[in-house]
Amino acid sequence: MIASPRIGSGNGRLSGADRRFLARAIERGRRGWGRVHPNPMVGALVVRGEEVLGEAFHAEYGGPHAEVSALSALDDVRGATLYCSLEPCNHRGKTAPCTEAILASGITRVVFWAAEPGVEQSGGAERLRSRGVVVDGPFGKPSEWAAENPAFFRNASGRGPYVALKLAVSVDGRIAPAGGKRVWLTGEESRREVHRLRAGFDAILVGRRTWEADDPMLTARGVVVPRVPPVAVLLDRRGRASIGLRALRRRSGPRSIVATTPVGAGPLARRLSGCADVVAVPVQGKGLDLAFLMEVLEARGVSSVLCEGGGVLAASLLREELVDRLYLFVAPVVVGEGGVPAFPITQPGECAPEAFRFRGWKSVVDPSRFGNDTLIVLDRGD
């Protein structure tokens, strides 16, 4: 997701051409968005001298790795250099180890960007070096690798699902005018990007006010068709969801999930009569226990969650320190006094930087432009 990949310095020497090829491998890898998660997006390039002989990316979960795809499409790569965005794996998983394919190919130099975080999968660089291949890498910082493949690196640390929060706000930080009525603040291009983003997540989560006001479908209807459509998750502490909601009437994809209190779960499940999976989540403060919800989702195989508001849910997630990434689409609109704030401050004396601890957050991904809107991406520092 870094607009132009920053390679950084690290273990080995890089020429200007090396940096260009490595950046291109990272960019190619991004084409796997929506198709490879929870595995990483990976790109690879085979170069001899200054000539790119071939390039590939990891295109499908469980399918050939980028390195193997790039090599297997070429007849003779002896003496060439392989550039990859991730350290070649050294394990037999759903596919054979990339290290073996590289050794068999006659590649004499490998340049890679990010270190492999998996214990079983790692050791690729060492293995190749032990067999006489010149290996340069890793380069850059873990936070930069994580910015490119956030859910993958987060999941590798075993700390529960990766959580991103997406908000579309006016320049005065509002998500809706007074009364909370649905209006589009951001333009068409931003909305397209949101659909593309949705395709790369296992679940899309919204709070009660959002599904009441907007009745969203929560599907990924963009250029990227997700390998597995994300599951819609609706928060419903009061047990008010009805079978008429668009997110519950979806015909394709996984059944939506409605989270409510343990007391309300039985009655709600009966009322929704099989249109959704109702999960029981204890109450915490004025809402549901969101950390508990994340555990429930993880147990159901969800490893990444995109939260799409509204403000109350956003504030709770931030307060609970559950957010790993913030996607903030800023529209050139002023909503003005009385508008619904993106970050409601409810406790007297609270000030946003303290309450939400934005101070340690990093802007690793460059801001980007979608039509007249600006997307700001912030990653939580560790």
Work out whether 121 is an interface residue with ligand AOF (CB under 6 A): yes
**Residue 122: C-alpha distances to residues 63, 126, 161, 253, 331 (Å):** 19, 9, 22, 34, 43
Cα–Cα distance for residue pair 210/21, rounded to 1 Å:
44
Which pair of structure tokens corresponds to residue 54? 């071939």
According to CB under 6 A, which one of 65, 127, 166, 198 is a site residue for ligand AOF?
65
Is 67 a catalytic site residue? yes
Compute φ and ψ for 360, nearest 5 degrees.
-85, 5
DSSP one-letter code for 186: S
CA–CA gap between residue 356 and residue 319 (Å, rounded): 6
Nearer to ligand AOF, 160 or 309 (CB): 160
Interactions with ligand AOF, residue window 161-220 (CB under 6 A): none
CB 164 within 8 A of CB 150: yes
Instruction: Point out which span in 115-123, 180-188, 285-293, 346-354 binds ligand AOF (CB under 6 A).
Output: 115-123
**The only residue of 24, 28, 35, 58 in contact with ligand AOF, by rule CB under 6 A:** 58
Detail the DSSP E strand segments found in 255-342.
Answer: 256-260, 276-280, 283-284, 287-288, 304-307, 325-331, 340-341
Of residues 55, 67, 116, 148, which has the active-site annotation?
A: 67
Question: Least distance in Å: CB of 20 to ligand AOF?
Answer: 20
Nearest to 217 by CA among 189, 187, 248, 180: 248
Cβ of residue 41: shortest distance to Zn ion, in angstroms? 13
Nearer to Zn ion among residue 98 and residue 147 (C-beta): 98
Residue 39 interacting entry, from ligand AOF, Zn ion, none, C-beta within 5 to 8 Å by type: ligand AOF
Cβ-based nearer residue to ligand AOF, 98 or 110: 98
Q: How far apart, in Å, are the Cα atoms of 43 and each of 69, 142, 263, 331, 352? A: 10, 18, 49, 33, 39
Q: Which amino acid is at 37?
A: H
Of the listed pieces 90-98, 102-110, 175-183, 311-319, which binds ligand AOF according to CB under 6 A?
90-98
> 2 and 364 in contact (C-beta within 8 Å)?
yes
What is the closest distance, in whole angstroms, from the C-beta atom of residue 86 to Zn ion in the complex? 8
Cα–chain-centroid distance for residue 69? 24
Residues that bind Zn ion (CB under 5 A): 65, 89, 98
State phi, psi for 233 to the nearest 5 degrees.
Answer: -125, 120
Instruction: CB nearer to ligand AOF: give 71 or 89.
Output: 89
Give the whole-angstrom CA distance, residue 279 versus residue 198.
22
Question: Given candidates 7, 47, 66, 125, which one binds ligand AOF under the rule CB under 6 A?
Answer: 66
Measured CA to CA, the distance from residue 240 to residue 220 in angstroms comes to: 25
Instruction: Give the nearest distance from C-beta 97 to ligand AOF in angstroms.
Output: 8
Residue 95 within binding range of ligand AOF, rule CB under 6 A = yes
The answer to whether residue 303 forms part of the interface with ligand AOF (CB under 6 A) is no
* Among the listed residues 1, 2, 82, 89, the single contact to ligand AOF using CB under 6 A: 89
The nearer residue to ligand AOF, 95 or 261, going by C-beta atoms, is 95
Instruction: Please tell me whether the peptide bond between 310 and the residue prior to it is cis, using omega within 30 degrees of 0.
Output: yes
Residue 357 Cα distances to 1, 8, 214, 351, 360, angstroms:
23, 27, 29, 10, 7
Which residues in 32-51 contact ligand AOF (CB under 6 A)?
36, 39-40, 42
Tell me the closest approach of the beta carbon of residue 239 to ligand AOF, in angstroms. 39
The answer to whether residue 137 forms part of the interface with ligand AOF (CB under 6 A) is no
Residue nearest to ligand AOF (CB): 93
Q: How far is the CB of 94 from ligand AOF (least distance, A)?
A: 4
- Active site amino acids: 67
Q: Which residues bind ligand AOF (CB under 6 A)?
A: 36, 39-40, 42, 58, 62, 65-67, 86, 89, 93-95, 98, 116, 118, 121
